[in-house]
Amino acid sequence: MLRSDNITVKRGNRTVLRQLHFDLQRGELIAVVGPNGSGKSTLLKALTGELSLARGEVELNGRSLAEQMQRPHAIARWRAVLPQQSELAFNFPVIDVVMMGRSPHLSQQQPALDLEICEAALDQVDCLELKDRFYQQLSGGERQRVHLARVLAQLHEGLESKGPALLFLDEPTANLDLKHQIQILQIARQCADRGAAVFLVLHDLQQARAYANRVLMLKAGRSVAFGQAASVLSAKRIERVFDIPVEWVHHQGAALLKLKHSSATIL
């Protein structure tokens, strides 16, 4: 569904991503991990067309992304992006914010159906009771979940009929408490299980291992490893890339990351 063909991205004279090569299939969740400044968010921006490429090409369904971005409306019907932080300049009711996610589909739907879809999406992220509240009165975590609902409403068709659906999430857990971190990751996982392709930038390596099919590890703009979650996230590689001595501990089927020579686990 998505293919990154040797892409290189520059900001000014600095090369921030170098020759990245990977692919994302339908029904798959890929997590991108790496230390701060390794280019995770930059990669997401390049894949969504927000940044232009110095070299290489991004392909969506076999066709060049740059070419398809000429008509963003067509893509918006099956591809959604949840940025790290969304701002909203004026104070809309929450339900209106979620309804904005329906705008690529509005011409063919009845408003009542759109409303239903949006309420279902809000329910899914545990925010239905915020429906009539105003956006600017929400906390950071609530805002993030409302935007997730907006994105889910946008992809409703793709997720329901198993049509194409592509979802980008940029550190969606950053502002959230534990319960809602898990909730968001579970929703992302469900989307993939329903046939969507999900691209996720993530800090937490344990979560990456638990929820992703494949993991792409970046360091200083280069791909260090790409493949099955468990094999990419080996203790040795984490030690080398993140510069901390760690080991995996297995407990009742769960894999926990722990500092070597210490009882501290890494959350």
Partner 1 sequence: MLLSAALGDKSIPAETVVRAIFGIETQGHAIDGIIVRDIRAPRILTAVLVGATLAISGAVLQAIFRNALADPGLIGVSAGGAAGAIVFIVFGSWLIPVSWTLVHELGINLFPMAGGIGVTLFVYRLALHEGRIHVTTMLLVGLAMNALVGALIGYAVFFSNDDQLRDYTFWSLGSLARANWNMLSWLAPIIILIMGALLSYRRQLNLLLLGEYEAVHLGLDVEKIRRRLILLTASGVGLTVALCGMIGFVGLVTPHLCRLLLGPDHRWLLPASALMGAAILVCADLLARISIQYSELPVGVLTATVGAPFFLYLIVRAKRQTSI
Q: For binding to partner 1 (CB under 8 A), which residues are involved?
A: 48-50, 69, 71-77, 79-81, 83, 86-93, 96, 100-101, 103-104, 106, 136, 154
Rounded (10°) CA dihedral 227, 188, 79, 223: -30
Q: How far is the CB of 230 from partner 1 (least distance, A)?
A: 32
- Which residues face 169 on adjacent strands? 82, 200
Q: How far is the CB of 118 from partner 1 (least distance, A)?
A: 14
Q: How far is the CB of 157 from partner 1 (least distance, A)?
A: 13
For residue 75, give the DSSP letter: H
Considering the complex, state which of residue 118 and residue 241 has its C-beta at the smaller distance from partner 1. Answer: 118
Q: How far is the CB of 137 from partner 1 (least distance, A)?
A: 11
Considering the complex, state which of residue 154 and residue 223 has its C-beta at the smaller distance from partner 1. Answer: 154
Closest CA to 125 of 182, 206, 194: 182
Q: Give the whole-angstrom CA distance, residue 47 versus residue 200.
A: 12
Q: Residue 263: exposed, middle, or buried by beta-carbon count in 10 A (0-12, 13-18, 19+)?
A: exposed
Considering the complex, state which of residue 103 and residue 109 has its C-beta at the smaller distance from partner 1. Answer: 103
Considering the complex, state which of residue 89 and residue 267 has its C-beta at the smaller distance from partner 1. Answer: 89
Q: Give the whole-angstrom CA distance, residue 177 versus residue 78.
A: 29
- Give the chain's largest Cα–Cα span: 61
Q: Residue 260: exposed, middle, or buried by beta-carbon count in 10 A (0-12, 13-18, 19+)?
A: exposed
Q: How far is the CB of 224 from partner 1 (least distance, A)?
A: 27
Considering the complex, state which of residue 74 and residue 254 has its C-beta at the smaller distance from partner 1. Answer: 74
